[in-house]
Amino acid sequence: MNPVPARWKVWLAQVRAPFLVLSILLVLVGGALAERDGALDIPRMLLCMLGTVLAHAAVNLFNEHSDHRTGIDFRTQRTPFSGGSGMLPAGLNRPWAVYAAAVGTLLAALAIGIYLALTSGPELFIFIVIGGLTTVFYTTHLARFMLGELMAGVCLGSFVVLGTYFALAGRLTTEAVLLSVPPGILTSLLLLLNEFPDAEADRRAGRRHLVIALGHGKAARLYTAALAVMYLWIAAGVLAGFFPGMAALGLLTIPIAAIAVRQAIFFGADAKAIVPGLAANVMVVLGTDLLLAVGYFLD
């Protein structure tokens, strides 16, 4: 018999703690641009990180609760990167507690966002409202109408970069908008590939995301094309002078991306065989965001 994990380990599993690193890196991208423009305020950047991590945790907790309520938890083939934590079907936590924690973390994130908006500019409320609504309705509505991947990329990708920059600099620039595109694509692709092993369980629960709508083959080709666009965007931005030369560091993850693409194309329908591809995908997403931030800080 396996020992019962400590309570704090259960909660860390349910908020998907390793994936929260994404939120930190996205804020770093926006902060790195602000630093280059002479607007970096480290305490405010750390506050942006806390708010984003809380919002990200809320999304994951709402998803945990929804997957249990709809029965997905009992049908999915779990991997280290998809399928949820499995804590609720194992009886290691209570659904109402997870839902309450989701609401609490979202309210805390909103409080931080409101403070940042009041001290930087009301335009920030646009990101806060759209992000908050996406957090609440992601699993119940957006994931059922092929909007999950898009809104995840927008709200937990581009908006985090833009919102962080605005909270620090009090304005938006063309460079900030252009720089927010690769992280947005990457977040969408993180979700897209993680949906491959869950497609059948999600379909039976009424969800309709891109993998279900397109099938594994076409979804793999979409994944490949979107990755290519993301890398070309970075390269074009550097060559056109919109991004500093050091931003080209983001291209260093291309060899890892090739592994993810190969696994998606050849093993997309095999929940076990695709796991190395899921791992490579996580490395591409986190690595590219990190290298973009480092490139800006070093420039």
Question: Domain with 49 in it: what CATH number?
Answer: 1.10.600
Q: Helices 124-137 and 42-70 meet at what angle, rounded to 10?
A: 20
DSSP conformation class of 81: T
Q: Helices 42-70 and 21-36 meet at what angle, rounded to 10?
A: 150
Q: What is the torsional sign of CA 261, 86, 143, 212? A: positive
Contact 224, 259 (CB under 8 A): no
Decide if pLDDT at 58 tops 90: yes
Look up residue 109 and give its two tokens.
């994130």
- Structural domain contains residue 11: yes
pTM over 0.75? The answer is yes
Q: Residue 2: pLDDT band by 50, 70, 90 thresholds? A: low
Q: Domains in the chain: how many in total?
A: 1
Residue 170 carries which side chain, given as an amino acid letter?
A: G
Overall average pLDDT of the 148-158 stretch = 95
Overall average pLDDT of the 69-97 stretch = 81
Decide if pLDDT at 171 tops 50: yes
- Structural domain contains residue 256: yes
DSSP conformation class of 299: -
Element (H, E) at 99: helix 95-120
Contact 205, 71 (CB under 8 A): yes
**Residue 254, C-beta contacts closer than 8 angstroms, at least 6 positions apart:** 231
Look up residue 147 and give its two tokens.
């909007």
> DSSP states of 39-59 as a string?
---HHHHHHHHHHHHHHHHHH
Q: Which residue has the higher pLDDT, 131 or 66?
A: 131
Residue-number span of the structural domain to which 248 is assigned: 7-298
- Structural domain contains residue 65: yes
- Structural domain contains residue 108: yes
Overall average pLDDT of the 28-49 stretch = 98
- Structural domain contains residue 2: no
- Structural domain contains residue 277: yes
| 17: three-class secondary structure by DSSP | helix
Q: Chain-wide mean pLDDT for the chain? A: 93
pLDDT at 175: 98
- Structural domain contains residue 1: no
Overall average pLDDT of the 1-8 stretch = 71
For 33-43, the pLDDT digits (tens) are 999 999 999 99
- Conformational region of residue 77, where left means phi above 0, alpha means psi within -120 to 50, and beta covers everything else: beta
Q: What burial letters (b/e) apply to 59-82, b meaning 16+ CB within 10 Å? A: bbbbbbbbbbebebbebbeebebb
Q: Please choose, from the candidates 189, 176, 151, 136, the residue with its C-alpha nearest in 3D space to the C-alpha of residue 33.
A: 176
pLDDT at 173: 98
The region of weakest confidence among 52-56, 72-76, 85-89, 163-167 is: 72-76
pLDDT at 125: 96
Residue 183 carries which side chain, given as an amino acid letter?
A: P
Q: Which residue has the higher pLDDT, 209 or 57?
A: 57
DSSP conformation class of 79: B
- Structural domain contains residue 99: yes
User: CA-to-CA distance for 193 and 264, rounded, in angstroms?
Assistant: 8
